[in-house]
Amino acid sequence: MSRRGLPDWLVIARREFLERVRTKWFLVVTLLGPIVTIAMVVVPALLAHSDFSARIQVVDHTGKLGPALVEKLSGPNWKVEQVPVDTPEATLLGRIKADTIDGYLDVPADVLEKSTSVIYRGDNATNQVVSVLLERAVRAAVQKVRGDQLGIPSDKLESLLSPVDVEAKHTTGEGEGASGGATFLVGYVLAFIIYLSIILYAVNVMRGVVQEKTNRVVEIMVAAAKPRALMFGKLIGVGSVGLLQVGVWVGMAALTMKYRLQLLAFFGASGGFTMPELAPSAIAVILSYFVFGYFFYAAIYAAIGAMVNSDQEAQQAQTPVMLMIMFSFICLQIVTNDPRGSAAEVLTLIPFASPILMPMRFLLGGASLGEVGISLAILLASTWLVAVLAARVYRVGILMYGKRPSLRELVRWIRY
C-alpha cells in the first residue's frame, strides 16, 4: 500500500495516466480526431459541389466527332474548341507548357469503326472528375454520330442507351437501410481507429518498460512496489489514456453522423447518401472491444519489454505479435463481404482478431448481441490468461539483463 492508502497499482496507473494526459501532444491528437471526422463528411460534399474548369482543344481525325464533342463538353467553366487536324503535336504540347490550354483530345480516324482509344493529354489528366467527364462526353458523342449514321433519332438513341443507376443500401431487414458505401466506410474507419489505437498504446507500454529497464529506474520502483503491481498499473494507466482518446473520437463520430445534414448545411453543402447512425449499443461494443483488445495485446507487449534490453531487440521480438494484428486487419474484407457468413463468425471468435473485426461486423448487422457476448467472453478469458502469463514473465524479466531469454527459459520463468 502507498502512503496515501491507495493500492500500488492504482498509484502507478494514476502516474502513467497524468504523465501522458498533461502533454501537448495528447491534446493535439485528441482534438485532431474530431477535426478529421468532420472533414471526412464535409470535404467530399464540398468537392462534389465545386466547379472544375478546363481549357481543352479537340483534334478530330474522323471529321465527324468534333462538333459533337465540343457540344457535349462545353459548359460554364469549360472552354472547348476544335482545332485543325494538321496542328502539330509539338504545338499542342507547347500550349500546355505555356499554360494557354489545360490539354487536348486526340480523336483517331478509325474510332467510329474500331472503337479505338481516344487519347487525352493534359496537365489535369490526374483529375478524376475531368477524366470521368471526358469519358462520358466521348461516349455520348460517338453514340450520337453512330445513331445519325444508322438513321436512329438522337432522342430514341439516348433513351435506349441511357444508363440506370443502382443504389446499394445496407440493411438487415429492420429498416430501409443506409448507403452501403457509407456504412462500409464508417465500419472500416472505426476498425482502423481500433487497430491503430491498440498498436500505439500497446507499443507505448512496451517502450515504457524497456526505457525504465534500460535506465535502471525499475530497480528503484521494484523496491517500492511488487512487479505485478508495476505491470498492471502501467497497463491500466496507459489504457485509460487510450480509452479517453478513443471515447472522444467515437463520440464525435456519433454526433457527426447524427447531425450530418445540419453540419453540411452550415458549410453550405448537401449530401446525397444516407449515413448510418452509431447507436448506443454500437458505441458500447466499440469501446468494450478496444478495452479488452488493448489489455490483451498490451500484456503481451509488457512481457516483451521485460524480456529485452533495448529498443532494437524489442522491434525484433514484437514481430510475431505485429503479424497477428496485421492478419486481423487484412481479414476485414472477409467480414465486409459477408458479415453473416461462417468465416466472419469464426474470425470474430478468435481472441487476437475479434477486437478489430467484431465491431465492424456488429455495425454491419452481421452479429447479434448474443454472438457479441460469446466473443467478448472468449476475449475476456484469453486476456486474463495472457495477463497472468505476462505477469510471471514480467516479474522475472524486469530485473534480468544481458542475453534475451530462450523459449525454454521463458517457460521456466512462467513456472517459477
Q: What is the pLDDT of residue 374?
A: 94
Most confident of 232-236, 373-377, 386-390: 373-377
pLDDT classification of 105: cutoffs 50, 70, 90: confident
Residues 96 and 35 in one domain: no
Q: Is the pLDDT of residue 178 over 60?
A: no
Nearest to 388 by CA among 310, 300, 275: 300
Span 226-237, mean pLDDT?
80
Query: Quick one: 206 and 354 in the same domain?
Result: yes
Residue 372: predicted pLDDT: 92
Indicate if 356 and 387 belong to the same structural domain.
yes
- Across the range 284-307, mean pLDDT stands at 86
Encode pLDDT of 128-139 as tens digits: 778 878 888 888
Nearest CA to 35 out of 249, 329, 213 is that of 249
* pLDDT value for 268: 65
Give yes or no for residue 263 having a pLDDT over 80.
Answer: no
Is 33 in the same domain as 131? no
| Better-predicted residue by pLDDT, 20 or 221 | 20
User: What average pLDDT score do residues 206-234 get?
Assistant: 74
pLDDT on residue 371:
92
Residue in the block written with cell 492504482: 10
Lowest mean pLDDT among 89-98, 150-159, 227-236, 338-347: 150-159
pLDDT category of residue 298 using cuts at 50, 70 and 90: confident
Each residue of 201-226: b (16+ CB within 10 Å) or e? bbbbbbebbbebbeeeebeebeeebe
Cα–Cα distances in angstroms (integers) from residue 46 to residues 12, 234, 262, 266, in the given order: 47, 44, 14, 12
Q: How confident is the model at residue 161 (pLDDT cuts 50, 70, 90)?
A: low
Name the pLDDT band for 286 (thresholds 50, 70, 90). Answer: confident
Q: Is residue 128 in a domain?
A: yes
> What is d(CA 58, CA 39) in angstroms, rounded to the nearest whole number?
37
Last residue of a domain, one of 161, 196, 217: 161
In this structure, are strands 119-122 and 103-107 parallel, antiparallel, or unpaired? antiparallel
Out of 201-205, 280-284, 307-311, 400-404, pick the least confident: 400-404
In a domain, 171, yes or no: no
C-alpha distance across the termini of the chain, in Å: 25
- Find the mean pLDDT for residues 36-52: 66
- In a domain, residue 202? The reply is yes
- The whole-chain average pLDDT of the chain stands at 78
Same domain, 257 and 350: yes
Q: Within 13 A of 156's CA, how many CA atoms are on the CB side?
A: 7
Question: Which pairing describes strands 78-83 and 178-179: parallel, antiparallel, or unpaired?
Answer: unpaired
Q: What is the mean pLDDT of residues 176-180?
A: 52
Looking at residue 1, its pLDDT comes to 45
Name residue, grid cell 497477428: 324
* Of the residues 136, 161, 186, the one at which a domain ends: 161
Q: What is the pLDDT of residues 327-381, one digit of tens each?
A: 888 888 888 888 888 898 999 999 989 998 998 888 887 888 899 999 999 999 9
In a domain, 2, yes or no: no
Classified as helix, coil or strand, 65 is coil
Q: Do 35 and 69 lie in a common domain?
A: no
Asked if residue 169 is part of any domain, the answer here is no
Range of the domain at 403: 8-44+178-415
Greater pLDDT, 158 or 176: 158
Tally: H helices and E strands in the chain: 19, 6
Amino acid at 217: V
Please give the distance of CA 211 from its chain centroid, rounded to a whole number: 31
| Lowest-pLDDT choice from 56-65, 163-172, 224-233, 376-385 | 163-172
Q: Do 242 and 367 belong to one domain? A: yes
pLDDT at 2 over 50: no
54 strand-pairing partners:
78
Closest listed residue to residue 186, CA positions, set 297, 260, 266: 260
- In a shared domain, residues 216 and 321: yes
Question: Is the residue at 387 inside a domain?
Answer: yes
Residue ranges of E strands in 139-254: 169-170, 178-179
- The domain boundary, picked from 92, 127, 161, lies at 161
Predicted pLDDT of residue 346: 92
CATH of the domain at 71: 3.40.190
pLDDT digits 0-9 by tens, 63-93: 888 888 888 887 777 888 888 988 888 998 9
Is the domain of 235 the same as that of 379? yes
Residue 170 maps to a domain: no
Q: Are residues 24 and 72 in the same domain?
A: no
How many Cβ atoms sit within 10 Å of the Cβ of residue 393? 25
Total of domains in the chain: 2
User: Looking at residues 178-201, what average pLDDT do you find?
Assistant: 74
Residues 202 and 306 placed together within one structural domain of the fold: yes
By DSSP bridging, strand 169-170 and strand 178-179 are: antiparallel
**pLDDT exceeds cutoff 60 at 241:** yes
The highest-confidence range among 7-16, 57-66, 380-389, 407-416, by mean pLDDT, is 380-389
Percent of the chain with pLDDT over 90: 6
Alpha helices in 215-226 (DSSP H): 217-224
The contacts found for 20-28 with CB under 8 angstroms, 24 or more apart, are 20/237, 20/238, 20/241, 21/241, 21/244, 26/241, 26/245
Mean pLDDT of 318-332: 87
Sign of CA dihedral 343, 349, 351, 357: positive
In a domain, 366, yes or no: yes
Cross-strand partners of 55: 79
308 and 203, same domain (yes or no): yes
Does the CA dihedral 339-345-351-353 come out positive or negative? negative
